[in-house]
Amino acid sequence: MDRISEIYNAVLDGNAPATKAGVEAALGEGLAPEVILKQGLIAAMGEVGRLFEANEYFVPEMLVSARAMQGGLALLKPLLAEAGATPAGKVIIGTVKGDLHDIGKNLVAMMLEGSGFEVVDLGTDVSPDKFVNAVVEHRPHLIGMSALLTTTMPSMGATVKALQEAGLRDKVKVMIGGAPVTVAYSNQIGADGYSPDASSAVRLAKSLAGADCRAFPNLEAASLRVPHAAWAACGWATSSLHRHCERVGPQRGAAVGVQRSNLRVGHTAPRLLRTNRSP
Ligand code: B1M
């Protein structure tokens, strides 16, 4: 088995020592850090996400894989920084004010990191002001907020408002998640998207961070008008779709093979996302 496959399998198995040893050996053999990252760690975390969505992996498996990946990533980070590798995007993430639950947020952060994002984790009990200050300081593509308590969810809305008041709302995308959070709530507070779990959070973050219509390049605007319920069922805030449609405009003839009737079926939309995304 070649070194990259060894690393890939070690992450899939959640085997942290083997992941670390594989990365060390690969570096010793002169493999480029970016190749190890993309073909080993990131590819494996993509597969972990797929297995999670197929109900073959559950939260514990995803956690151990993410931890294994982080061990390997820690070895690569300084080398990637030296080589000036471009991250998929920068995300600021935190659990909102008054809320100390961080297991889900940490998992989302690890999955994002495993997908090539630079993640600034503000921790728990993060106030709207702290999010705003972090946006000023770090200039991220995205803010990710997590809430596990119904009583702390309003802090998500307060943060969106604080971003507006600071004149920063247009400069950063906002995604939210956590057990009590819903797509309806995301729409209500004007967030750009909601995702129900860590693996779909990665997909959402990639699309939002693209900021250039990468999410729906091949869907004609007319199709997008039909399936909002379907997209919403898959965790997309319809407000963000509306904004997106306005930007994209009609892209005629591009929805090759896409049946509008398919779009009414809840989970067809993410598949379209994958198949239609630009490389
Ligand atoms: Co708390 N707690 N807790 N708790 N706790 C819940 C959330 C609760 C549902 C339990 C219950 O009553 N059945 C309940 C909330 C009720 C409600 O508001 N509706 C509750 C309560 C009431 C409380 C306290 C108020 C209890 C008390 O003191 N009286 C208190 C509050 C403290 C505070 O935050 N101020 C409290 C305290 C705690 C502990 C400290 C003991 C501990 C937290 C430890 C920690 O996080 N470090 C804890 C725990 C562990 C839980 C439960 C049991 C598990 C939460 C968890 O980690 N789930 C929880 C009951 C439950 O959920 N069964 C409960 C696993 C995790 C992987 O899932 O966090 O949902 P989750 O994350 C998922 C998705 O939601 C999503 O992806 C993740 C991975 O798939 N996701 C995102 C999460 N964030 C996302 C962000 C995104 C996208 C997706 O984009 C940015």
Q: Would 261 be classed as within a structural domain? A: no
**Contacts by 38-42 with C-beta closer than 8 Å and gap 24+?**
38/116, 39/4, 39/8, 40/4, 40/7, 40/8, 40/11, 40/72, 41/7, 41/11, 41/69, 41/72, 41/73, 41/76, 41/114, 42/114, 42/115, 42/116
Contact between 34 and 84 under an 8 Å Cβ cutoff? The reply is no
Question: How many domains does the structure of the chain reveal?
Answer: 2
Question: Looking at residue 83, what is its pLDDT?
Answer: 73
177 CA distance to ligand 1 middle (Å): 12
Where does 37-168 show beta strands of DSSP type E? 89-95, 117-121, 142-146
- pTM for this prediction: 0.76
Question: Looking at residue 274, what is its pLDDT?
Answer: 30
Let me know whether 91 and 228 are in one domain: yes
Question: Looking at residue 88, what is its pLDDT?
Answer: 85
Q: Would 155 be classed as within a structural domain? A: yes
Let me know whether 92 and 229 are in one domain: yes
Let me know whether 129 and 212 are in one domain: yes
Let me know whether 56 and 26 are in one domain: yes
Question: Looking at residue 215, what is its pLDDT?
Answer: 34
Mean pLDDT by 10 residues, the chain (279 residues): 94 97 97 90 89 92 92 88 79 97 89 89 98 97 97 98 97 96 96 92 90 34 33 39 39 26 30 30
Let me know whether 11 and 23 are in one domain: yes
Q: What residues make up the domain containing 225?
A: 87-236
170 CA distance to ligand 1 middle (Å): 30
Token output for 269: 């939309």
Q: Which atom of ligand 1 is nearest to the CA of 93?
A: 91
- Coil, strand or helix: which one is 277? coil
CATH number at residue 39: 1.10.1240.10
Could you tell which of 62, 97, 148, 182 is best to mutate to test the pocket of ligand 1, judged by most ligand atoms within 8 Å of the CB?
148
- Coil, strand or helix: which one is 265? coil
CATH number at residue 172: 3.40.50.280
Q: Would 101 be classed as within a structural domain? A: yes
Q: Would 92 be classed as within a structural domain? A: yes
**Residues near ligand 1 (Cβ within 6 A):** 59, 93, 98-105, 107-108, 144-146, 148-151, 175-180, 195, 197-198, 201
